[in-house]
Structure 1
Amino acid sequence: MPEKHKELGKANINRLLLKLSFPSMIAMFANAIYNIVDTIFVGRGVGAQGIAGVAIVLPVVAIISSFAHMIGIGTGTLISRQLGRKEEEKVNRTAGNGFLLVILVGAFFSTIGLLFTNEIMRAFGATPTILPYASDYGQIVFIGMLWFPFCVSTSNYLRAEGNARDAMNAMLLGILVNVVLDYIFIFPLQMGMHGAALATISGKFTTLIYLIVYFRQPNHVINFRFRCLRLNKHVLKPALSVGLSGFGMRSSSSVANVVLNHTLGALGGDIAIAVFGVIYKITLFFGMPLYGLNQGMQPIVGFNFGADKPERIKRTIKLGFMYAVGYGILAIIFFQIFAEPIFGLFTKDQNLMQEGPRALRIIISMMWLMGIYQTTMGAHQAMGQPRAAFVLAIQRWVLLVTPLVLILPHVFNLGLDGVWLAFPLADFLGTIIALIFLFVTLRRRNIVR
């Protein structure tokens, strides 16, 4: 039996956090860079309506991904706590439940998406001019939903047993294939939206092959065993109750994007939707390292919560805050200074360039606080606190951004500026709420006195 996971309860916290976080950060950075490159290719090869079409499909993919995250985070953090309690015989039973459930989820959403592509695109805000682009992209992406959720979900298992580097390698390999095929399909082969979508699902298929090979090797704690592929309510109930926060975080942004797309369409038309489509990709780039830090922190907190080592939990959370805020401040300075050239990478459309950089500066102005509530939510997930984790997961998009998007445009006739201002106000309020939740949870669990 491998011993790597046991260092979660013994090794120096700072070195351990960096060791687990850096591979996740690199993978997330690479994923964010891919998202930007993909949008640049679509913007240069198809045009502003192509960007808007991708912006319509993204929330749909995010909702499907949210189910995969629910399964992966829930079963992954349960595995971490089981390893901390030295219940290694239960690990593969938990993983088997996750494997089977995420396969079923992928098959379900792929079928629904292919049957009702146009209807789904309209529901998510596609205007008549954007619909052909969104549908062309969405139809092919829905085929990839057969394996995309498996890739999203099961990467959590690699990190749970301390193999963050393999999780990184799986993602990087898929991204590399994706970017190369993006260029080939969109430019030399002139395949447009179909080419961008084919590149996306091909990259994820490469990641799938990597993960299958990994889980079939006998020298890991977690193995893909057919006899463990069964659903057990005693495993899934505690896992999914915690994983529900992962679902909430990803799906809540999609729910908000539906409101955003309709609001933007009413206030500013296709151009406003395209502007936010670019900004959304840029903010993904901003946030990905924070997600990577969160992923590196969770196995440490989960293991030591199971092993009843409160000092290591406190130390991990404090370091998470320190690194997250430090990165956030540096990133904000960079994006504020270089807003125009960054936005200009995606398009030369003067209508987009007139509004885009200014909107970007407003939206990201308080995002340096994002790391605080990300770390807080991740700690609650790792400690198996489902209710608090769920509230923290949905607070930004559902409880704060969505109501503010609906209200602020009508305050002092702010219009589109009201949409952009909703984001920094939500980030500020969300941080205060997150810190209150964390203090109460740590007191109740006697981690702080």
Structure 2
Amino acid sequence: MQRSVKLFLKYVSLNMLGMLGISFYILADTFFIAQALGPNGIASLNLSIPIFGIMHGFGLMLGLGGATRYKILQSQSRQEQAAKVYSQTLLFTLIIGGVFFIVGQFGSGAIAEVSGANLETFETTQVYLRTVLTFAPFFILNNTLLSFVRNDGDPTLAMFGMITGSLLNVLLDYIFIFPLEMGMFGAALATSLSPVISLGVLMIHYFKPLNKLSFTFQQLEKRLVRDVMFLGSSAFVNEISGSVVMFTFNTIIFSLEGNNGLAAYGIIANVSFVVLSLFAGIAQGTQPLFSESYGLKNLTQIKQVLVLSLGTSLLLSSIIYLNTFLFTDQLIMLFNSEQNPHIADMATTGLLIYFSGFFFAGINIVSTSYFGATNQPKRSLLFSMLRGGVFIVPFVLILSRLLGMKGVWLSFVLAELFVMAIIIWKMNPEKRIKRKKDLGNITR
């Protein structure tokens, strides 16, 4: 038990710090844009997030899927197969990054239109999208390498990579937006340089004695790539679902309250991004521990890590909601640069309703990661889909008609509650270990 607790604290605390750093620069981005460009700037940022989420989804899918298979194989002393997984994942990552780069050069305007940008927000939305998609190869490669470095026994460096990129992004954000007056392009450029800086830090791992990551050029194997994508599919679906939900919310909220409603949702969406990143920190931090325990068929350690991660999630939810309740006005004032009372009123109600859903969302995020890390991609994918559009889209369509903006906020809470009930019903680590053998032979 002592070893499990020690490893849990190390991996989870470091990963939560790293994810907090990433979310901090997103908040800083939002704050600086709010101060410089007002509600229309926030609305443009909000409209850009869905495609940004899809790009991140590919990086997380390949990173977590590849690193999960890598860790299982490594725990079984199958280093040659593990190295093959690493090389194949990196090669496919570069291909996907290239596709996003091309889309950014020729399709950013079309994406802005489809996202719902109007005459007031089209230009800034297009600028933001084109810039971040130009740097897509770096974003996706950074997400992939972070997972592999963490699973290769170096969570501290992974944390430093995330934090260094994030802190320098905040500094560049300020310089580009205010002294240099580069507007939305400056905000997007600062954000886009963050993964480049992080990758520079991660390169240190390759010069360390503990490094077992060995890349070789080779022909892509469809079966292996499919296995990696399947294992990481829940992370991809989480991001895609988030983008689908945000697009749906943007459309409904705009029909109800216009750009003021989008600005209020932008405040909630960006603050909630910080919260979700902390839960993701728990989930990604425990992934190497779950995968190693599964590879070794260590049921006791799986149960210990599961109890620790779920308990941490509930504690974190309680702390977050208490602070949200106590400091609601202060949070809103940070991003409501024009002190618009209608935006403040909508955001206040939204924060108090929406954030109650994190008691359930935290458990769902950790549990979904557990299923993926223990070689149960079908269940992990199913629950990710349920957390996304399957439940929340029908809820928001119905409740927004009945309750207006309150119904929009409440839909998130009810969707997460329903998913949690199903997850509790299906989770059984003991049955999993006894019934199934490792499926890692995919690389043979």
> Partner residue of 2:58?
67
Structure 1 residues 369 and 138, CA gap change in structure 2 (3 angstroms): same
Q: Is 1:219 aligned with 2:219? A: no
Q: How many residue pairs were aligned?
A: 434
Q: By how many angstroms is 1:261 displaced?
A: 1.2
Q: By how many angstroms is 1:31 displaced?
A: 1.3
Q: Is the Cα contact below 8 Å between 1:77 and 1:299 reproduced in 2?
A: yes
One-letter amino acid of the counterpart of residue 177, structure 1: L
Q: By how many angstroms is 1:409 displaced?
A: 1.5
Residue in structure 2 matching 1:237, options 212, 226, 232: 226
* Residue correspondence of structure 1 range 170-185 to structure 2 within 5 A: 170-185=161-176
Q: Is 1:397 aligned with 2:388? A: yes
Q: By how many angstroms is 1:246 displaced?
A: 1.1
> Partner residue of 1:355?
346
Q: TM-score under structure 1 normalisation?
A: 0.93
* Residue correspondence of structure 1 range 105-116 to structure 2 within 5 A: 105-116=96-107
What is the alpha-carbon distance in structure 1 between the residues aligned to residue 182 and residue 56 of structure 2? 26
What is the alpha-carbon distance in structure 2 between the residues aligned to residue 35 and residue 242 of structure 1? 28
> Partner residue of 1:437?
426
Helix, strand or coil: the match of 1:12? helix
Structure 1 gap segments, 5+ residues each: 1-9
Q: Is the Cα contact below 8 Å between 2:154 and 2:205 reproduced in 1?
A: no
> Partner residue of 2:188?
197
> Partner residue of 1:88?
79
Q: TM-score under structure 2 normalisation?
A: 0.94
> Partner residue of 1:279?
268
* Residue correspondence of structure 1 range 5-154 to structure 2 within 5 A: 12-154=3-145
Residue in structure 2 matching 1:316, options 280, 292, 305: 305
Q: By how many angstroms is 1:218 displaced?
A: 5.9
One-letter amino acid of the counterpart of residue 222, structure 1: K
> Partner residue of 2:155?
164
Structure 1 residues 222 and 250, CA gap change in structure 2 (3 angstroms): farther
One-letter amino acid of the counterpart of residue 141, structure 1: V
Q: By how many angstroms is 1:437 displaced?
A: 2.4
Q: Is 1:208 aligned with 2:196? A: no
Helix, strand or coil: the match of 1:190? coil
Residue in structure 2 matching 1:300, options 276, 284, 289: 289
> Partner residue of 1:330?
319
Q: Is the Cα contact below 8 Å between 1:96 and 1:230 reproduced in 2?
A: no
Q: Deviations over 1:217-251 (max 9, x none)?
A: 262443352x2454223422322211111111111
Q: By how many angstroms is 1:407 displaced?
A: 1.1
What is the alpha-carbon distance in structure 2 between the residues aligned to residue 152 and residue 68 of structure 1? 5
Q: Deviations over 1:112-149 (max 9, x none)?
A: 12201111011122222211111121121111112110
Q: Deviations over 1:353-372 (max 9, x none)?
A: 13112111111113122221
One-letter amino acid of the counterpart of residue 301, structure 2: R
Q: Tell me which moved more, 342-351 or 263-272.
A: 342-351
Structure 2 gap segments, 5+ residues each: 437-444
Q: Is the Cα contact below 8 Å between 1:159 and 1:295 reproduced in 2?
A: no
> Partner residue of 1:3?
none
Q: Is the Cα contact below 8 Å between 1:92 and 1:228 reproduced in 2?
A: no
Q: CA RMSD in A?
A: 1.7
What is the alpha-carbon distance in structure 1 between the residues aligned to residue 251 and residue 214 of structure 2? 43
Q: Deviations over 1:266-301 (max 9, x none)?
A: 111111112111111101111222111111211111
Q: Is the Cα contact below 8 Å between 1:408 and 1:418 reproduced in 2?
A: yes
Q: Is 1:291 aligned with 2:291? A: no
> Partner residue of 1:428?
417
Structure 1 residues 281 and 229, CA gap change in structure 2 (3 angstroms): farther
